[in-house]
Amino acid sequence: MITRPRLLAAAGIALIAAALGGCKSKGAIVVDEGVGITAVRGACPAVGIPDYTGDVTLFRVPGSAEANAIDVTAAITNLRPNCAEGGTTEKVYSQTGFDVLARRTDTRGARTVQLPYFVTVLRGGSAVISKRVGTVTLNFADGQERAQAHAEAGAYIDRAEATLPDDIRRRITRKRKAGEADAAIDPLTIPEVRAAVTRATFEVLVGFQLSEQQLAYNVTR
């Protein structure tokens, strides 16, 4: 799972964050000592939870944000991406399973709580390609303080759009020797290379579909 930086969106639409932090795994392009740049990214998207959307707080009193008015709290955890790059289909399917752990303050009686969540496909760090909203259902038994549920989020990525052009890939992965004119030049600083990498970068974001008030509470608490 990749944790994302600051959230930039408002309630009611896709909650989108900025660029992902890199790591040496599929879905990134990294510097490898002694050989220049090594491409280890594939057509499968990176998957993450935007800041401030991984948990939600419900209050018993509408409009309240007081601790003594908290009704239910829930958090998304155990994000488990599953994506197969192989095959010849035009679309790559990325499926992500996750758990929702919840706690309620009043344990009297059995209760069902439904929480909406979104799955958004982001291209190039800012362009929303698609968004879907689902619902996860939590069932509290009488006297039970905690509940847990599992949910799935799926998204399709265009294989061609998520694949770097051959010439760009060659420019990125070409091994450089000391003394060459461009040996010290990072190919990712070349505008056309950087633009091509950005266009081919897709992310799948999963989080709670928050109201404006819920989002503000998460940001300021």
In the Cβ-directed half-sphere of 9, how many Cα atoms lie within 13 Å?
A: 25
- At residue 85, the pLDDT reads 77
User: Does an H or E element contain 205, and which?
Assistant: strand 202-208
- Other CB atoms within a 10 A radius of the CB of residue 110 amount to 10
Find out whether 133 and 82 touch, Cβ atoms under 8 Å.
Answer: no
Question: Of 213, 218, 75, which Cα lies nearest the Cα of 151?
Answer: 75
Report the predicted TM-score, pTM, of the whole model to 2 decimal places: 0.76
Distance CA 214, CA 219 (A): 9
Per-position pLDDT tens, the chain of length 221: 444 433 334 333 333 333 333 334 444 454 444 444 554 567 899 999 999 999 999 999 888 888 999 999 999 999 999 998 776 788 999 999 999 999 999 999 999 999 999 999 999 988 999 999 999 999 999 999 999 999 999 999 999 899 888 888 877 777 766 656 665 666 677 788 888 888 989 999 999 999 999 999 999 98
- At residue 176, the pLDDT reads 66
Given the structure tokens 């950005």, which residue do they identify?
Answer: 198
Q: Under the phi-then-psi rule, with left for phi > 0, alpha for psi from -120 to 50, and beta for the rest, what region is 51?
A: beta
- At residue 75, the pLDDT reads 98
Distance CA 42, CA 174 (A): 18
Q: Report the DSSP beta bridge partners of residue 56.
A: 74
Q: Report in angstroms the alpha-carbon separations of 164 from 27, 29, 117, 154, 199.
A: 12, 11, 31, 23, 9
DSSP state of 19: P
Find out whether 177 and 183 touch, Cβ atoms under 8 Å.
Answer: yes
Tokens of 2: 């990749």
Distance CA 189, CA 176 (A): 16
Distance CA 53, CA 35 (A): 39
Question: H helices of the chain, where?
Answer: 166-173, 191-199, 212-220
List the domain boundaries for the chain: 2-220
Distance CA 178, CA 48 (A): 38
Question: Of 216, 206, 182, 205, which Cα lies nearest the Cα of 123?
Answer: 205
Distance CA 141, CA 32 (A): 53
